[in-house]
Amino acid sequence: MQFSENVSLKSLNTFGIEAKARFYYELHSKQELKEIIPIIDKSEKPLLFLGSGSNILFTKDFDGYVVRIVSKGIRIISTNETECFVEAAAGEEWDSLIQFCIQNNLYGLENLSGIPGTVGSAPVQNIGAYGVEVKDCIHLVNIVMTSDFSETGLTNKECRFAYRDSIFKSRFQYRVLVDSVVFRLSRVPRFVLNYGGVTEEVERISPDSVDLKTVSQAIINIRNRKIPDPKVIGSAGSFFKNPIIDQTRFNRIINVFPDLKYFYDLGQNYKLAAAWLIEQCGWKGFRYGDIGVNENQPLILMNFGNASGKDILNLSRKIQQSVLDKFGIVLEPEVNIQ
């Protein structure tokens, strides 16, 4: 059992931040856990499971064990006339699963096309885009407890999914390995096209009919117009979550700022467009040296080359402060800050 030492994580996080892992290991299967966990426990150093590093900001070297999940495999478990259950290994690239769905005519995940990341990290933060959240299609999340290697299949309800949240960010943080995810997909077309701009893009590509490939391509086109490619400019997608506030606070703010942008009326609550709040504070298109705020989507902070994690963190704090000063709203980071 060999750990590599002092490994650069620069190519292993989409922000492209230079940071070193004191120890590094690539995990191909859950069986290997039994060999590495006792060593990690004995060292008393922290453990970090890493997928493709698309939602993490390293602000310093990681003085512990970075274990990157590289397990592979996507298979159909069972199928009937209307549904199909597909199991994907945690280390699979998210987009490989999307391709699998397109090839097999399985509906449900197409609006999540083009999201960087791995299958195993999708349930952790309940990835979502263009009117769909991954929780809508998750049947089971198969996990292994690092304390005793017991294995459980958590049901959708047990995962306690919420907006960019799940049990894996609270009670189970750092304590479990997500080994695979079982998705419940539809064999009958059922598209979600009502998020702003999606219908128009689908009609532009294919005016006469809608299919899985068209919707997936439409989503990718919209993303490409707004979101910088992390292979070209370092970022972790949205840095902050959209804040959710209650009716009383909403009324107070909209009285002062009638142009306030918000999305869904979630019962008694309102989800505000953090991008708008940040734009109103004058940050859109901001650039200083190698750090910046995207000019199309100001929720995205960027590393143009050799920014440090601390530079990005400082920028995020300044943005938080100005949104707090102007609107009285606390922006919460979406990314995992280490």
Site for ligand EPU in 181-210 (CB under 6 A): 195-196
Among 13, 52, 180, 297, binds ligand EPU (CB under 6 A): 297
Q: How far is CA 250 from CA 50, 102, 166, 276, 281, in A?
A: 37, 41, 25, 15, 18
Among 218, 299, 312, 319, binds ligand EPU (CB under 6 A): 299
Can you say how many angstroms the Cα of residue 152 is from the centroid of all Cα atoms in its chain? Answer: 23
Q: Does 298 bind ligand EPU (CB under 6 A)?
A: yes
Among 7, 69, 275, 331, binds ligand EPU (CB under 6 A): 275
| Distance from C-alpha of 317 to C-alpha of 277, rounded to nearest angstrom | 14
Give 23's contacts (C-beta < 8 A, 6+ positions apart).
Answer: 3, 4, 5, 7, 45, 64, 65, 66
Nearest residue to the partner ligand EPU, using Cβ: 237
Q: Which residues of 227-247 are buried (b: 16+ CB within 10 A; e: fewer)?
A: bbebeebbbbbbbbbbbbbee
- Which tokens sit at 190? 């059922």
Residue 199: which H helix or E strand, with range? helix 198-205
- Which tokens sit at 92? 């699979």
Shortest distance in whole angstroms from residue 54 CB to ligand EPU:
8
Site for ligand EPU in 129-148 (CB under 6 A): 129-130
- Catalytic: 238? yes
Which part of the chain contacts ligand EPU (CB under 6 A), choosing from 35-43, 166-174, 236-244, 324-332?
Answer: 236-244
- Among 52, 180, 238, 316, the active-site one is 238
- Catalytic: 164? yes
Which part of the chain contacts ligand EPU (CB under 6 A), choosing from 26-34, 137-145, 235-243, 318-326?
Answer: 235-243
Shortest distance in whole angstroms from residue 86 CB to ligand EPU:
23
* C-beta separation of 23 from 33 below 8 A: no
18/279 with CB nearer ligand EPU: 279
Three-class secondary structure assignment of 40-56: HHHHCCCEEEECCCCCE
* C-beta separation of 177 from 144 below 8 A: yes
Shortest distance in whole angstroms from residue 327 CB to ligand EPU:
13
Counting Cα atoms < 13 Å in the Cβ hemisphere of 42 gives: 5
- Among 54, 87, 164, 223, the active-site one is 164
Among 133, 136, 311, 334, binds ligand EPU (CB under 6 A): 334
213/284 with CB nearer ligand EPU: 284
Total residues at interface with ligand EPU (CB under 6 A):
20
Shortest distance in whole angstroms from residue 275 CB to ligand EPU:
3
* Chain residues that interact with ligand EPU, rule: CB under 6 A: 129-130, 195-196, 226-227, 237-238, 241-242, 261, 273, 275-276, 279, 284, 297-299, 334
Catalytic positions:
164, 238, 334
